[in-house]
Amino acid sequence: MKGFASDNYAGVLPEVMDALQKANREHAISYGDDDITKSVKELFTKVFDRDLEVVFVFNGTGANVLSMSTAVESFSSILCADISHFYNDESTAPESFTGCRFIPVASNEYGKIEPEIIEKKLIRKGDIHFAQPKILSLTQSTEYGTVYSLEEIAALYQLTKQHGLYLHIDGSRFFNAAASLKASLSDMVQHIDILSLGGTKLGMMFGEAVVVFNKDLAKQVRFKQKQVMQLASKTRFIAAQFEALLQNELWKKTARHSNEMAQYLHKNIKDFSFIEITKPVQANVVFATMPEKMTTYLQAHFPFYVWDEFTNEVRLMCAFDTTKEEIDSFAALIKNWNPE
């Protein structure tokens, strides 16, 4: 059954499956020293148009843990949005591996962190009794499916530089953000130190990447990768999937489609009297409130999650394989719903 629960629920892009099959034909040296991985690293440098180091990891939590571990010391603190997946849904993995204190920063109604709120957390520099802020982590696109503009990222980057912090982007849906902004990948990374780049939510079978743009951090990321148990023996199978996404801008076509499906979904349900759209629709998700009985009725046909149980705000996520016909069927169910 297909639904709107998560883009993680979707299968694998045909081009990615073909890349896996191709990578499976021959033996290859392990731990990222194979020709495919080397070639894909060069491709990253080309498409991002910056000097960088990239390492391939198993999953999103691993990408975030590696990113943090590369940038901090055990007496550091890490600032992130109070609603971020990083803070709320990765159990204690980031804290356990880094030994750092996590400081949640209140996000605004759009799920973004504003500079003036961050500045209030940047206190007691040099005080040995206080965990020292070292890195700011942003989610792009946010947990609400909204997107930081390039100007907003640049301003936050300047703030981190003023205070001696690194800027990390948790980019599990980074490609969707780029498509929403109609920006090149090069434009997207001009003001970033380190990026957790998601592929699974865009149609890869497994694997993510950590892309390091800060030269000081790049020197140690491979050692940290081994330390946090994210060095895959058969790295080529992760690298090959990213190659499929980056070649011929498949990432853009795929991200555009899921974003467009979210817009189509928004258009088809926004005028129903029982439904209220609660967040701007900018990436590949629609947030809305609806009666609890309607939620139960719809979930029997199209799985999706309740985001806020107190307000019955739901999250409707579109994926690379979401179709207009499925959205039409979902809208028809709403139209035919009888509250009695």
End-to-end Cα, the chain, rounded Å: 27
pLDDT (0 to 100) of residue 1: 74
Residue 300 has which token pair? 């029997």
Overall fold of domain 14-248: Aspartate Aminotransferase; domain 2 (3.40.640)
Q: What is the mean pLDDT of residues 50-64?
A: 97
**Residues 30/33/35/41 CA torsion (nearest 10 deg):** 120
pLDDT tens by residue, 284-327: 999 999 999 999 999 999 999 999 999 999 999 999 999 999 99
pLDDT (0 to 100) of residue 289: 98
pLDDT above 80 for 340: no
Nearest CA to 140 among 172, 162, 167?
172
Question: 175: exposed, middle or buried (C-beta count within 10 Å: 0-12, 13-18, 19+)?
Answer: buried
Q: How far is residue 301 from each of residues 4, 81, 224, 292, 332, measured CA to CA in Å?
A: 10, 33, 45, 15, 12
Q: How far is residue 60 from each of residues 183, 207, 246, 274, 290, measured CA to CA in Å?
A: 23, 8, 19, 36, 31
pLDDT above 70 coverage of the chain, percent: 100
Q: What is the mean pLDDT of residues 62-72?
A: 96
pTM of the model: 0.96
CA distance 29 to 42: 18
Amino acid at 12: V
3-state secondary structure of 201: helix
Domain segments of the chain: what residues?
A: 14-248, 251-336
pLDDT (0 to 100) of residue 238: 98
Per DSSP, 15 falls in state H
CA distance 3 to 172: 20
pLDDT tens by residue, 219-278: 999 999 999 999 999 999 999 999 999 999 999 999 999 999 999 999 999 999 999 999
Per DSSP, 100 falls in state P
DSSP string, 106-164: ---TTSPPPHHHHHTT---TT-TTSPEEEEEEEESS-TTS----HHHHHHHHHHHHHTT
pLDDT tens by residue, 192-232: 999 999 999 999 999 999 999 999 999 999 999 999 999 99
Summary mean pLDDT of the chain: 96
Does domain 251-336 sit in CATH 3.90.180.10?
A: no
pLDDT (0 to 100) of residue 45: 98
Confidence label for 339 from pLDDT (cuts 50, 70 and 90): confident
pLDDT above 90 for 21: yes
pLDDT (0 to 100) of residue 338: 82
CA distance 313 to 290: 7
Beta bridge mates, 209: 56, 197
pLDDT tens by residue, 77-103: 999 999 999 899 989 999 999 999 999
CA distance 304 to 162: 42
